[in-house]
Structure formats: C-alpha cells, structure tokens
Chain A
Amino acid sequence: MLAAAAALISPDGRNPQPVHLIRPAAAPLSAMAQLGRLVFFDPSLSSSGALSCASCHSPQHAYGPPNDLPVMAGGANLKRQGLRAVPSLMYLERQPNFSIGPESGENEGLATPAPASNAVPQGGLFWDGRANTLQSQALGPLLNPLEMDGGSAARVAAKLRRAPYAWRMVQLFGAAVFARANVAVNEALFAVARYQIEDPSFHPYSSKFDAWLEGKARLSPAEARGYALFGDPRRANCAACHLDRPGGDGLPPLFTDAQFEALGVPRNAALAANRDPAYHDLGICGPVRTDLKTATQYCGMFKTPTLRNVATRHAFFHNGVYHSLEGVLDFYTYREAKPQRVYSGAKYDDLPAAYRANIDTVDAPFDRKRGQAPPLTPAQERDIIAFLHTLTDGYR
C-alpha cells in the first residue's frame, strides 16, 4: 500500500504525473439553454407556486438539497415528504443509459464500459436509473405529487403558455408549440436539459483534486493519506466504484462507475413512508420504478452517485439516513465488523430477508467478519474525509 501511495503522490503532495484535463467546452448559452434556465428557476410550474427545479437542486449547494433534511418536502402545501434524498444534478453529462449486462444488438455502436460482471446494472438517472435523458428525468419531479406536483402535462403546458418566456418557446419551436401539451412540456424540459448540458456550473471540474491532477495543487498530508486509503483495495476500496482516474484522453474522473450496488443502508425512521413496516424502498425493484419488479436479484440496488461535491451535502444515501460524512464512513467501517454500531435493529434492517443476498459482502470494506478489526481506524476515516473535501468545486 505504501509503495502504491508513493507512486500515486509525490512526497511534497504533488501529482507525479500531471495530466491535462479536457473539460466541456464553454460557450455562451444558446437560446435553448437560456430558455431552460428560465424554466429551471420557475416556481409557477409547481402546485404550491413555491417550488422550482432549483428549490431542491440548489445552485448554491452543488445542485443538491439546500438543507439537512433527509428528503425534501413538496406538494400543494409543501408538507408532503419525498421518498428519497435529492441527488445532485451535477456531472451527469456523461451518464450512460440504463442497461443490464452486455450491450444489446440493436444498440449500434455505443461502446459501453465493460462492467465487472455482465449482470451488473448500470447507468440511467435517479437513484433507480429509471430515466435515461435529463429531459425525461426533469418530468419526474415536475409531476410527482410529493414534489412539484405540477398536475398533468396539460396543466404545465397551460402555465408555460402564460409564462413570461412563452415568446421564447414560440421563437424556438414555432407557433404550434402550444397546440399540443406534451410537445410544449417536452420542449421546455429539453431546454432545461440543455441548460444543464451547456452551463459550466453543472460540470466545472474545478475542485482541488482536479487542480492536483493537473499538477497545480498539493495534497496536504492528511488528504494524501486519505487518497491512498480511498484507492486501497484492501481498506476503504472507495475507488472500486467511485472511479478516480482521468481517461487517457483527459476526461476528468466522475467518481462513479454509474453501476448499481446493494449496500444494506439502515432504515431511516425519519421517513414518513417508513412508518409502514411493510414499506421497503427496493431501488431497481421499485416501488418507484415499476418495470423490473420481478428482477429480484437487483432488489435493494441503488445507483452509485458521484462523490464530487459530496462534502457539501447533508443527506447521504438514497434514504438520507446519514447527515455527515462521519456517519457515512462509520457505516462503511462498521457494517460487518460491528453491525451493532450501524443498525438499531436487525442487520440490513431496510431490506426484506429474501433480498439480503444481493448485498455486497465480498469487496472491501465489506469483507470483514463480525468481531474482526474494522477496515478503517477513526484516524483513517478522518483522512478520507479530508480527501473527500478536495472534491468540492471552486478551488482556487
């Protein structure tokens, strides 16, 4: 491990092999993206008149939730609780489509990254990967009764027609754009997607780690130790899923392999839905996603999120059960060696017994047995957290 660390980081904290990162080209926003920005910040599309996309995907909070609630509240009177923690909208510009196994024959030419196993689901948007495009993803919260509660395409289209930016829609999509509700809504939501694709604030790659990759920053001793642990396949092993290496063509690392994993995160009693003991959020298997309910080998699996800007968040994992990186690191450290520190009830208490075999118990840090030494010491956890802070954008 020390040898690996030495090769990875120079003694003075520099990157011994600096790279030139290729960031998305920056250009003035197109008319489409300018329209999308207006839609993104428009609260009138919600039933409460108070929620826009930006309410939960706050630009000041890495396009994630602006508070430390486990999930956000929405609906007509802003009193209904959402089902899952709000994911960040950042770094989705390269997200692959949802797929399971090798590429299909009809998918001419798209080179999917080779998964560790052909059967591992990957890609898509939302915690369960149920949307493939940013445009279709945006429709979810817009119509969800627990979130923006927009009602129907017809109702949203009527609001778009009255919006101060309606003339821009006519300019871009023609006078007939409001003749059919789904056309108007789809065009408006594509504009939102285009805003996310074009605006550099969604993918600046401006963290200290990016600067370090390019040889423009030094990691502190704690950050350097944390980075070594992050990649150590026998310890934290974070980098196995949260990929940390730039591509040979200079594409910055996304800190996710976009694959799905069942982690056995503890049940969150703070969620209203969990008051029903029969309710289980099974990720790919539902209940939100409905097309893979019978694929029980994937029950309990959620998509691995990027770790970029993770230190700015206050709600972690799909159910928002943790509110600090310390809590998250403790989960990884103690889940197997000291499960009583993680679960107030039974081990894996948020997944029905029938699906617990889906939980990863093979790869570090989950390969320890009860009573064995945990894979990380408290000091090592602190070092990893120090490293995770280098993934926050806006480093100067």
Chain B
Amino acid sequence: MKRIVALCTVLAFVVCSGSVPLSAQSARGGTATPIKHLVILYGENVSFDHYFATYPKAANPPDEPVFRALPNTPAVNNLLTAHLLHNNPNLTNPANGADAADPFRLDDTQAYTTDQNHAYTAEQQAYNGGRADLFPKYTGKGTPGGAGAFGTRGQVMGYYDGNTVTALWRYAQHYAMSDNAYTDTYGPSTPGALEVVSGQTNGMLAIATTAKPATATDYSYYVNDGQGGLTMINDVDPASDVCSKPDDNAFMAGKNIGDLLNDAGITWGGFMAGFDLTVKNPNGTTGCKRSTYSPIVGQNVADYIPHHNWFAYYPSTVNSTHNRPSSIKAIGHTLGADGVKDPANHEYDLEDFYAAVKTGNFPAVSYIKAASYQDGHAGYSDPLDEQAAIVRLVNFLQRRPEWKDTAVILTWDDSDGWYDHAFAKTTSPSSDGADQLDGNGTCGSGQALPGVGGKPVNGRCGPGTRIPFLVVSPWAKTNHVSHTLITQASVVRFIEDNWLHGQRLGGGSFDASAGSIMDMFDFHMSAAMPVLLLDARTGNPVPSH
C-alpha cells in the first residue's frame, strides 16, 4: 500500500481508489495508510450542536474574534439546517415546564457555564425515543460553576459559535469533520473513556464499592448485565490508581487497544496532564492534588482526574503509582533501553509527549488528555481554556517534520447532556431498569449485543449522544464534512485497520461494527497541504513561519 500511495502522490492527477485494502499493509511494521502517527486529543463533555449548531454562520458581534465561512463550505446537520433554532420541540413540549427553551447563542464572555446532567439514564430520557425534546427536563440540571459562570433555566439549549470555538471552526474549514459521530453508549466520562480504547463498557469488576446497581430512579455507576456480570454506565474511579477514591473503584475485564499494540510491538502511550505526581505547580500543589488556576473559571482545578484515565481501568495497562518512564527514549515502548520492562507501562504525563516528540520519539498511537481546566468540561473548564490546549498541540505537531504522516483526531468523551437534535437509531439495545430511551426499562428493541463473555448484556444502550469529531492531518480532506455514521469505537477500528491488519478486540467490543473514519481522509492527494497555525487565545490564524 505504501507503494501505491507514493505512486498516487507522484501522479497527482491519476484517480485512485478511495478504499484501503488491508492486505496491502506492509509486513515491516508498515501501515495501511500513510498515517504513521495518530494523536487522539480526547476532550470532555461537548455535544455536536453545542459547538456547531449554526456552523458555518457566526453572529460576529462587536469586539470578538470574527469568523466568516469559506464560500464552498458544505452544509452540516445542525440546528441551522434542521430549522430548529426557533419553535424547537424543547420549547414547545410542555413537559419541560418553566425550563422550556429554544436554543440560544452563548457569547464568548459566557464561555464559563454551569454544567449539565450527563448520566446514562438522564440522557436517554432527554432523547425521549429519538424526539430529542426533553433536554431541559432531564439533562438541564447540573452543578453551578463558579462565581463568574453563566447559568439560566433551559441553559442546556445553549450553543457556541465561531466567535468562541473559533479554532475548531477554522480546523473544520481547513481539514475534515464528521457531523455524524456518536458516543457508543449514553452516559458520562468513564464510559466514553473506555469506548475510545476498548469499544465497550461491559465487564466491570467492582474492586471496591458502596453502590448498588442503578435503577430508573437510583443513580449508580453500574448495572447488572443480566449474565452475572456488570456493565459500567456512569463514572467511577479506576481501581489501584493512587489518586482514586478508595471506597468506589473498578477494573474492566476484556482487552483494550493498548494490549493489541503491545502484542504487535507498536509504540503507544496514554498522556495525561497532571499524571506526573512529582511535579510541583506554580501554586504550590503537587501529587494527586496538583491543580492550576484558571482566571476564566476563577478556581484552582485539579489537573488529573482519575476517572478520565482510559488505560488505568485495565490491569494490563495500569500504572497505579504513576511511575516515571526510565528515559525519554523509552516513552511509547514496553521495554526500557536496558531491555527491562519500563515502569511507566505506557502511561505518561502530557509533558512527556511534548518532550518525547521533540526528540523525534513520536509514538505511533498517542491518547492525550489536557489538564482538567483545559478539557472543555462545563462547571470547571470552558471552551476558551480548551482552545488553548488544542491549539498548543496542533500548532506543535504541524511544525514537526513528522507532520507529513500524522493525523490528529479531536473528539470528546461525552456530550455533557448539552442539547443535540440528532439521533442515531439504536443498534445496541438494552432492557435494564436504568434504560429509559423508549420507555421504562427499554432502549431499542431486539436482543442485546454480546458482551465480554459472548452473551447478550445490558447497560450499553447506544449509540448515545452526538459529539464533534474532527480529523486534522495533511491527509484530511479539505473543508469536508463526512456524514458516515461513526462512534468512539471507530477510533479503535482505525488503529486496528492501520497498524494491526484489521485485527479486532473481540469480547463484545464495538470495534467490529463501528463505522470507518476513512471518509475524512484523502490518501491520494499531495501531502503539501499548508498548515494552519492559530493563535491559542483568539483562534485566529497566525503567520506560519
């Protein structure tokens, strides 16, 4: 395949097939596509319509970063094109009571808002069998945020535009975006974290627990899966992480993509800000309590949140005590230079990513989490702090020599419960008491899909909520919007297709059935696409020298 791509690049006008045959993958550690480095920046808690409701049309009020769309920008499935900005069913459905509201624009001065309810059951209730008309009633209640936060009744209907999430709108114009990407199941951060590395949430092992299984009315982080096991549906800390809460934490049975990459000897890492417990921040905090002050949030926010740590839920990929890598050279590798197993076990701090790549040690697959104040989660973060982290990463990578064979995926772990009008037909049904999408104890119809043990399991109602999904790469199509249905497990599938000859995780993972993200790439064009360097504060372009 490598040869074919090269040929297509040279013969720029030759039409080549869009599909990438897996059999073409080179045996010498090669990849099925020109992508040699995949970087997944996993943000927190944003629905597609929350960031792209009116894309590509921004309000452009005075004194804010101006956004004007390129003339050939394709239409996307959002509130503008669906004509849902006014007389929205969330306003007209009387069940929403006093909180009933039309969608409304959030200004960039309103970047910091209160948080919404994003629990497994509440999100299903908001989607209301696909009508998506009960958001104010069910997900429109959350934590308050800080003194300067914006909050209002019906706030769950709020959306930003290109005057606030300016960088993302510019990346969408320059690179490729999906308007049909979903979480694999309803629910919050930890299920989303598991899905992007393992494609599913069944096989939870409650190592310490004070909770009972969830019901329609009683919140919990797990349900009985109906086969004698457990499925995780809400947030719980990873077992054995030194920063986890001691009374409630869990491991997951089953494999994650790190296991497959290890078996194949392919470099990879999970890079989380705040993971290095030896660092002391300028405000004097260190260890698990390390925090950063955000002037926008007005608070010190903990850098590292254990229940966002994808790989800490699996005994095979955990780094419980946050051991440091034996050297920068060892980052991404299972073994250190001395041939002994590296103590970091593929789990690192975000600064380790920057340090390693700067020395040319750029792992094949990198999962990245910004410091919490920059992860975009309402209630303790905001889109402006988030933009700073995104732009820092993307600017950095675009300036690297490896950029020519790099792809960055910008996507999010869950929707926060923010309103989104789009609904994907349920393909993973569930009939636990906590399921409420299509009635009491009902999500979808038909038999539940097999879980870790190969038998049908409850608790994985999905696809869930729609999330933004952008591909930033010299190989991304330009100003392209893909309408192919994909989920978080599609990230797992891409890694498997690109590096592992299409090997699948098995054990109930949705990687086998997830859609392909290939529609966002064009591997036949020249890789000379100019980079798009942005200002981290405004999201506006800066000169690329």
Chain A residues packing against B (C-beta within 8 Å): 24-25, 28, 30-33, 92-97, 105-111, 113, 125, 132-136, 171-174, 176, 180, 182-183, 186-187, 190, 193-194, 196-198, 247-251
B151 near A249: Cβ-Cβ < 8 Å: no
Please name 8 pairs of A and B residues whose Cβ atoms are closer than 8 Å in the assembled complex, sorted by A: A93-B298, A97-B144, A105-B235, A108-B235, A108-B305, A125-B147, A135-B150, A193-B150
Can you name 5 extra interface pairs (CB under 8 A) apart from A105-B245, A108-B305, A193-B148? A93-B148, A107-B380, A133-B147, A135-B149, A251-B283
Q: What distance in Å separates the Cβ of A241 from its nearest Cβ neighbour in chain B? A: 19
B530 within 8 Å of A (CB atoms): no
The residue that A25 contacts in the complex, of B44, B282, B283, B295, with Cβ under 8 A, is B295
Contact check, A182 vs B105: say whether CB atoms are below 8 A apart: no
* Contact, CB under 8 Å: B245 / A183: no
Partner among B59, B63, B101, B150 whose Cβ is within 8 Å of the Cβ of A30: B63
Chain A residue contacts of B110, Cβ below 8 A: 32, 190, 194
Return the contact of A249 from the options B108, B152, B282, B379 (Cβ within 8 A).
B282
| B109 partner, pick from A24, A186, A194, beta carbons under 8 A | A194
Contact yes or no, B151 A135, CB < 8 A: yes
Nearest A-chain residue to B153, judged by Cβ: A182
Pick the contact of B299 from A31, A96, A194, A248 — CB < 8 Å?
A96
Cα distance A136–B152 in the bound complex, in angstroms: 9
Name the one of B44, B302, B307, B381 contacting A111, with C-beta atoms under 8 angstroms: B302
A92 to B146, CA, bound (A): 10
B280-302 interface bits toward A, Cβ cutoff 8 Å, 1 = contact, 0 = none: 01111100010101010011111
List B contacts of A247 (CB < 8 A): 283-284, 293
User: A135 vs B105: C-alpha distance in the bound complex, in angstroms?
Assistant: 17
Given A108-B379, A109-B305, A182-B152, is A92 in contact with B109 using a C-beta cutoff of 8 Å?
no
Is B493 close to A, CB under 8 A? Answer: no
Chain B 338-382 interface mask (CB, 8 Å, partner A; 1/0): 000000000000000000000000000000000010000101110
Residue from A93, A111, A132, A180 having most chain B Cβ neighbours under 10 A: A111
- B189 located at the interface, meaning its Cβ lies under 8 Å from any Cβ of chain A in the complex: yes
Q: Mark B36-67, 1 if CB is under 8 A from A, else 0.
A: 00000000100000000000000101111000
B104 within 8 A of A: yes
B385 at the interface (CB under 8 A from A): no
CB within 8 Å for A109 and B372 given contacts A132-B144, A251-B293:
yes
A107 touches B143 (CB 8 A): yes
- Given contacts A95-B147, A133-B151, are A107 and B283 in contact (CB under 8 A)? no
User: In angstroms, how far is the closest chain A Cβ from the Cβ of B43?
Assistant: 13
Tell me, in angstroms, the Cα distance from A161 to B349 when the chains sit together: 52
- Cβ-closest chain B residue relative to A187: B152
Provide the residues of chain A in CB contact with B102, threshold 8 Å.
Answer: 176
Selected contact of B150 from candidates A95, A109, A190, A249, CB within 8 Å: A190
Measured between beta carbons, the chain B residues less than 8 angstroms from A193 are: 147-148, 150
B84-117 interface (Cβ within 8 A of A): 86, 98, 101-102, 104-105, 107-110, 114
Which residue of A33, A94, A182, A250 has the most chain B CB atoms within 10 A of its CB atom?
A94
B325, CB-defined interface residue at 8 Å: no
Chain A residues in 8 Å Cβ range of B108: 30
Residue of A nearest to B373 (CB): A109
Q: A109-B372, A135-B150, A182-B152 are in contact. Are A173 and B379 (CB under 8 A)?
A: no
B residues lining the A interface (CB < 8 Å)? 44, 59, 61-64, 86, 98, 101-102, 104-105, 107-110, 114, 143-154, 189, 235, 245, 248, 281-285, 289, 291, 293, 295, 298-302, 305, 307, 372, 377, 379-381
Contact for B283 among A171, A187, A249, CB less than 8 A: A249
Q: Which residues of B contact A176 (CB under 8 A)?
A: 86, 102, 104
**With known contacts A94-B147, A182-B152, A110–B109 Cβ distance under 8 A:** no
Query: Is B298's CB under 8 angstroms from A133's CB?
Result: no
Interface contacts (Cβ under 8 Å), in number, total 145
Nearest-CB residue, chain A, relative to B289:
A111
Determine if B152 and A183 form an interchain contact, defined as CB atoms under 8 angstroms apart: yes
Q: How far is the CA of A108 from the CA of B102 in the complex (A)?
A: 28
* B284–chain A nearest beta-carbon distance, Å: 3
Measured CB to CB, the nearest residue on chain B to A176 is: B102
Q: Which residue of A lies closest to B62 (CB)?
A: A31
Question: Per a CB cutoff under 8 Å, which of A133, A180, A194, A198 touches B144?
Answer: A133
7 closest residue pairs by CB, A with B:
A248-B284, A186-B152, A249-B283, A249-B282, A132-B144, A32-B109, A109-B372
CA distance A320 to B376 in the complex (A): 42
Residues of A within 8 Å of B235, CB to CB, are 105, 108
Q: Are B107 and A172 in contact (CB under 8 A)?
A: yes
- Residues of A contacting B151 in the complex (Cβ-Cβ under 8 angstroms): 133, 135-136, 186
Q: Which residues on the B side are within 8 Å of A136 (C-beta)?
A: 151
- B283 nearest in chain A by CB position: A249
**Whole-angstrom distance from the CB of B84 to the nearest CB of chain A?**
13
The interface centre, meaning the residue of A93, A96, A180, A187 with most chain B CB atoms within 10 A of its CB, is A180
A106 with B148, Cβ < 8 A, contacts A174-B105, A249-B281 known = no
Closest to B86 in A: A176
Q: Which residues of B contact A133 (CB under 8 A)?
A: 114, 144-151
Q: Across the interface, name the chain B residue whose C-beta is closest to A125.
A: B147
* Residues of A with C-beta under 8 A to B152: 182-183, 186-187, 190
Question: Is A24 a contact of B293 with CB atoms below 8 Å?
Answer: no
A6 to B153, CA, bound (A): 54
Q: Of B102, B149, B153, B189, which is in contact with the most chain A CB atoms at under 10 Å from its CB?
A: B149
Once A95-B298, A106-B143 are accepted as A-B contacts, the answer to whether A134 and B148 lie under 8 Å apart by CB is: yes
- Report the Cα distance A18→B65, complex, angstroms: 38
Which A residues touch B282, using CB under 8 A? 248-250
Which residue of B is nearest A110, CB measured? Answer: B380
Q: How far is the CA of A251 from the CA of B101 in the complex (A)?
A: 39
Cβ-closest chain A residue relative to B148: A197
Give the complex CA separation of A247 and B146 in angstroms.
19
Bound Cα distance from A94 to B147, whole angstroms: 7
Residue of B whose beta carbon sits closest to that of A134: B147
Chain B: which residue is nearest A182 at the CB level?
Answer: B153
* Given A111-B302, A193-B148, A171-B104 contact (CB < 8 Å): no
Contacts of B380 in A (CB 8 A): 107-110
Question: Which A residues lie within 8 Å of B143 (CB)?
Answer: 97, 106-107
Q: Say how far A187's CB is from chain B's closest CB, in angstroms.
A: 7
Chain A residues, Cβ within 8 Å of B44: 108
Known A-B contacts A30-B109, A183-B152; the reply to A111 vs B144 at CB < 8 A is no
In the bound complex, residues from chain A placing their C-beta under 8 Å from that of B372 are 108-109
Q: Are B291 and A111 in contact (CB under 8 A)?
A: yes
**Are A109 and B105 closer than 8 Å at their CB atoms?**
no
Closest Cβ–Cβ distance, residue A90 to chain B (whole Å): 12
- Which residues from A are CB-within-8-Å of B86? 176
Chain A: CB-nearest residue to B274 = A109
Pick from B105, B189, B245, B291: contact of A108, CB below 8 A.
B189
Inter-chain contacts of A94 with B (CB < 8 A): 146-147, 298-299
Given contacts A111-B300, A176-B86, A248-B282, are A95 and B146 in contact (CB under 8 A)? Answer: yes
CB-CB under 8 A from A135, the residues of chain B are: 149-151
- In the complex, how many angstroms separate the beta carbon of B62 from the nearest chain A beta carbon? 5
Partner of A186 from B62, B153, B299 at Cβ < 8 Å: B153
Interface centre among A28, A182, A250 (most CB of B within 10 A): A182
Min CB gap A252→B, angstroms = 12
Residue of A nearest to B305 (CB): A109
Q: Which residues of B contact A190 (CB under 8 A)?
A: 110, 150, 152
B542 to chain A, nearest CB (A): 19
CA distance A113 to B149 in the complex (A): 19
